[in-house]
Amino acid sequence: MIGTFVNVIAIIAGGALGLFLNNRLPDRFITIFFQVIGIFTLFLGMSMALETTHVLHMIIALILGALVGEALQLQKGAEHISSFLKSKLKIGNEKFTEGLLTAFLLYCMGSLTILGAIEEGMGGSPKLLYIKSLMDGVSSIALASGLGVGVLFSVVPLFIYQGGITLFASWFGDFFPTIMITEMSAVGGILLIGMSLNILNIKKINVMNMLPSLIMIIILLWLFPEISI
């Protein structure tokens, strides 16, 4: 999992630089950084979502996934864990939870995450994850400058998620046909659109409760592969 380790280091390095700049830049610079990240996240999410060729699968996966996530209260659970870490580590940053969740979703929803982790898990080069590490490292500068130290702590769920895909691919790599990767990325794009609305303060959306949609899309494609509406 060399690629994932490099990814973690890049985010920590970029986030640390962002925290350094946070204390030295006027608020208006932090605000514009924040707005740029929000607009870019919206663009990225839309470009990913438009790659889908199975719209019906996507809609059903999002509905079922959101219902499951709401029933399990994933958003509240993630916020409780984040608040627990914040209190134990005596972190005074008001945006700690928002920074952690926002950074995790931004770093983990793209096809580059899935493709790179699968490629390395199946014995290939981690070059895709190296590219992702560079992108994440740069974006973490802006994220940490606007959202604080929570961005650095996002490497914990990222390591579990991305590293988990790598290990899973090393055991069951053939289980991931191209269409599943594409559609998982498309569903992830919808989640990024929701997150961009949060970043831009347009509408509060509990994106974490929609995460089970990533599993639902795989199940639906496996059960009903012939439907491509």
Residue in 150, 167, 147 with CA at minimum distance from that of residue 159: 167
Which of 6-10, 151-155, 182-186, 219-223 has the lowest average pLDDT? Answer: 182-186
The overall average pLDDT reported for the chain is 85
Residue in 15, 26, 55, 49 with CA at minimum distance from that of residue 142: 15
Q: What distances in angstroms separate CA 222 from CA 36, 65, 113, 215, one per listed residue?
A: 38, 16, 21, 11
**Integer Cα distance of 25 and 200 in angstroms:** 20
Query: In this model, does residue 50 exceed pLDDT 90?
Result: yes
pLDDT tens digits, 51-109: 999 999 999 999 999 999 999 998 888 878 777 777 776 666 667 888 888 888 888 87
Q: Which of the listed ranges 13-17, 33-37, 199-203 does the model predict with the highest average pLDDT?
A: 13-17
Residue 125, both tokens: 């080069």
- For residue 90, what is the DSSP state? T
Residue in 164, 193, 165 with CA at minimum distance from that of residue 52: 193
pLDDT of residue 105: 85
**Integer Cα distance of 114 and 128 in angstroms:** 10
Query: In this model, does residue 158 exceed pLDDT 80?
Result: yes
CB of 18 within 8 A of CB of 141?
Answer: yes
Averaged pLDDT for residues 24-46? 82
pLDDT of residue 173: 63
pTM summary value: 0.80
pLDDT tens digits, 173-199: 666 677 888 898 889 889 989 988 988
Greatest CA separation for the chain: 56
**Integer Cα distance of 48 and 193 in angstroms:** 10
Averaged pLDDT for residues 115-134? 84
**Integer Cα distance of 7 and 1 in angstroms:** 10
Q: Say whether 151 sits in a helix, a strand or coil.
A: helix
- Tokens 């639902």: give the residue: 216
